[in-house]
Structure formats: structure tokens, C-alpha cells
């Protein structure tokens, strides 16, 4: 027999908690000294206490735990429940890390806002023939995979690229999920018109109309994007314009990757 103090030390459970479990009938001592009132436990009760703790960590109430224990829930069942809880907690950690990253980004923006000035330029873009693919990406990572896949497919068709790759965002507002994106590249006009008549290709070819855009060219850094978009938005509305159409990210490097110079374009019109 083990005194309650020693059992508390072995199980790493406070004496007050063991007494409470006794009071509610969840884990009663193996024996109680009639004279002193001391509670005594046995080593055989440790597995039961571990089950109680495991179920408590799952967020169950003591009443729910008592009900499950009367049904003699198996160890594999409890293990499965704990594994599911672990997955849930891991997801919560990932989400918390993402929120922390956004907070860090905002802090850097506040600290560096005097240095993070971007020149917004009004540009008239000619119409262009493009080859493109669209998708509804669940998140940023899926969009990156789709972008690489699209580049491989279009380049395998041996079309002649006449300008830098770009992404057009067709959804409204800022999103981190359910991104409606179009990955595109300008191509030679004559060949583009021929491809428009061709069936069976895994991409579409069409003429992107000419546009007036508010544009910023900057050295790509993911954490700089909020400030770039803010600078364009401020310029647009203080100069009597409004945003129309789909925002574009143009990758000025020849390979269309996320490095080097990038251009953000907002199609606009007079308000």
C-alpha cells in the first residue's frame, strides 16, 4: 500500500486533486485508515489514473470521464483519441505560428515605415496575347505548386515567350485561402492566334486587353508586400482613381521565380 503523498509523487498529480477525485468517485483509495483517515493507494491504480488524466487532457469533463470509465474504454481507443488531439494541437500551433509571423511582419513595417517608401507609377499597357491556366488554390503553397506546374506545361508546348510571367488574382479582397489565380505569360501574337484554334491544350490562349495600371517595382520580399499594396492603394485613391479588374504580380526575372525584381500592377480608371 502507498500513502497518498507517495502516490502523488509517483503519479505527478497533486494531493488535492487525488482527494477531489476520491470525493467525486472517480478514483477512490484502495484503503483508508480508520483512525487517522489517511488514504492509501496501490501501484495497480496508476494505469487508471493515467487514463483519467489522458481523457482530461482531451478536454472531457469529469462526468464524461466517469461515464467512459464505466464503459471500460480500451487503451487503444484512448490512444486513438489522444493521437487525434495531438493532430488538433499541432494544427493550433501552426496557426499560432502563422499569426505570430504576421505580427512580426507588422512590427517590422512600423519600425521601417520611414524607409519603406515606394514610387507608384502610372502606366499604359498595350494589349498582349497570353497563354495561361487558372485554378482555385486552397492556400499559398498550392498556388506555388500550380505556378510551377503551369510553367512546365506551357514551356513544354514550345511557345515563344515575349514577356515576363505573371499571376492575376481574380478574387475580391485579401485572402490566404481559396485563391482564384491565373498564371500567365505573354506569347508571340501570330502563334497565339493559331493556338486559339487548337483544341486539346491544357492551357488557354487569349488577348489580354490594354490597361492603365498603377505600378510599383520593388526587390521581392514577402514581408514587404503589405507596404507595397498600401502604397499603391493610397496613391490610387488620392489621385482620383479607382481599382478595376484583377491585380497582377509580374515576375521580372527571366525564370519567373520569387526572387529579384517584381512588379505589382493595379488596373485603374478615373473615379
Of the options 3.40.50.720, 1.10.10.10, 1.10.1660.10, 3.90.79.10, the CATH number for the domain spanning 2-73? 1.10.1660.10
**What pLDDT digit, counting tens, does each position of 57-87 carry?**
878 888 888 877 777 767 787 778 778 888 8
Tell me the pLDDT band of 185, cut-offs 50, 70 and 90. very high
Query: Each residue of 162-185: b (16+ CB within 10 Å) or e?
Result: eebbbbbbeeeeeeeeebebbbbb
Tell me the pLDDT band of 101, cut-offs 50, 70 and 90. confident
Contact call for residues 123 and 212 (beta carbons, < 8 A)? yes
Listed by start position, the domains of the chain span 2-73, 121-270
**What pLDDT digit, counting tens, does each position of 210-259 carry?**
999 999 999 887 777 888 888 898 889 889 999 998 999 999 976 656 56
CATH fold of 121-270 = Multidrug-efflux Transporter 1 Regulator Bmrr; Chain A (3.20.80)
pLDDT value of residue 199: 55
Burial of 125 (0-12, 13-18, 19+ CB in 10 A): middle
**What pLDDT digit, counting tens, does each position of 124-165 carry?**
999 999 999 999 999 888 988 999 998 888 888 878 899 999
CA atoms of 54 and 63, how far apart (whole Å): 14
User: Mean pLDDT score of the chain, rounded to an integer?
Assistant: 85
Most confident of the ranges 112-116, 194-198, 225-229, 246-250: 246-250
Q: What percent of the chain lies above the pLDDT cut of 90?
A: 34
Tell me the pLDDT band of 55, cut-offs 50, 70 and 90. confident
CA atoms of 149 and 164, how far apart (whole Å): 16
CA atoms of 253 and 237, how far apart (whole Å): 30
pLDDT value of residue 212: 96
How many CB atoms lie under 10 A from the CB of residue 146?
19
pLDDT value of residue 71: 72
Average pLDDT for 10-27: 90
More confident residue, 263 or 257: 263
DSSP for 12-65, written as a single string = T--HHHHHHHHHTTSS--SEE-TTT--EEE-GGGHHHHHHHHHHHHTT--HHHH
pLDDT value of residue 62: 86
Amino acid at each position: 500500500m502507498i500513502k497518498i503523498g507517495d502516490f502523488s509523487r509517483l503519479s505527478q498529480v497533486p494531493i488535492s486533486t487525488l482527494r477531489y477525485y476520491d470525493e467525486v468517485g472517480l478514483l477512490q483509495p484502495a484503503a483508508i485508515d480508520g483512525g487517522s483517515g489517511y488514504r492509501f493507494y496501490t501501484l495497480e491504480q496508476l494505469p487508471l489514473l493515467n487514463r483519467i488524466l489522458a481523457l482530461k487532457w482531451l478536454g472531457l469533463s469529469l462526468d464524461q470521464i466517469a461515464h467512459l470509465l464505466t464503459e471500460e474504454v480500451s487503451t487503444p481507443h484512448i490512444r486513438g483519441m489522444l493521437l487525434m488531439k495531438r493532430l488538433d494541437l499541432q494544427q493550433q500551433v501552426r496557426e499560432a505560428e502563422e499569426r505570430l509571423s504576421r505580427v512580426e511582419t507588422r512590427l517590422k513595417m512600423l519600425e521601417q515605415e520611414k524607409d519603406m517608401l515606394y514610387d507608384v507609377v502610372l502606366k499604359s499597357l498595350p494589349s498582349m496575347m497570353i497563354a495561361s491556366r487558372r485554378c482555385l488554390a486552397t492556400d499559398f503553397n498550392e498556388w506555388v505548386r500550380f505556378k510551377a506546374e503551369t510553367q512546365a506545361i506551357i514551356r513544354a508546348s514550345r511557345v515563344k515567350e515575349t514577356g515576363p510571367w505573371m499571376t492575376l488574382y481574380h478574387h475580391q479582397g485579401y485572402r490566404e485561402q481559396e485563391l482564384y489565380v491565373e498564371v500567365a505569360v505573354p506569347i508571340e501574337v501570330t502563334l497565339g492566334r493559331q493556338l486559339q484554334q487548337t483544341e486539346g491544350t491544357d492551357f488557354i490562349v487569349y488577348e489580354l486587353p490594354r490597361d492603365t495600371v498603377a505600378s510599383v517595382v520593388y526587390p521581392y520580399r514577402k514581408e514587404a508586400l503589405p507596404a507595397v499594396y498600401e502604397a499603391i492603394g493610397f496613391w490610387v485613391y488620392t489621385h482620383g482613381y479607382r481599382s478595376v479588374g484583377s491585380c497582377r504580380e509580374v515576375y521580372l526575372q527571366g525564370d519567373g521565380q520569387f526572387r529579384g525584381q517584381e512588379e505589382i500592377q493595379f488596373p485603374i480608371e478615373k473615379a
